[in-house]
Amino acid sequence: MPLFSLAVSPVLCALSAVQLFGLVAAGLARLSEGTRHERGCQWLLVIALAVVGGVCGFALQFGPASAAFCAVTLTLMTMIAVFDSGPRG
């Protein structure tokens, strides 16, 4: 069976793209700390959190696995944005 014969739903691809957008936005917000781009990346993160949060409700119609995937992404985004492992001082 050829690899490209597997059908993938465009909706699930779009959901995955939104999840990836959220994770990238969280990473950018974290990496931009202390730079001139910090404020813009923080606003991007706020928008991404709202979009991924909205998609969590939309994903419920595709089953609990899709909704759980969105919820885990939302949690990871929050953890990436707030976790600080640097020295305290």
Q: Is residue 1 part of a domain?
A: no
| pLDDT given at position 48 | 96
Per-residue confidence at 88, pLDDT binned at 50, 70, 90? low
Q: Is residue 74 part of a domain?
A: yes
CA 37 – CA 55 distance, rounded (Å): 27
Q: Is residue 11 part of a domain?
A: no
* pTM score, whole prediction: 0.83
The encoded tokens of residue 84 equal 């600080």
- pLDDT tens-place string over residues 7-53: 677 888 889 999 999 999 999 999 998 899 999 999 999 999 999 99
Domain span at residue 63? 36-81
| pLDDT given at position 12 | 83
Answer whether 51's CB lies under 8 Å from 24's CB.
no
CA 76 – CA 54 distance, rounded (Å): 16
Q: Is residue 19 part of a domain?
A: no
Q: Is residue 6 part of a domain?
A: no
Looking at the structure of the chain, the number of domains it has is: 1
DSSP 3-state of 37 = coil
Q: Is residue 76 part of a domain?
A: yes
Q: Is residue 77 part of a domain?
A: yes
Q: Is residue 88 part of a domain?
A: no
Q: What is the dihedral of CA 12, 23, 42, 71, to 10 degrees?
A: 70
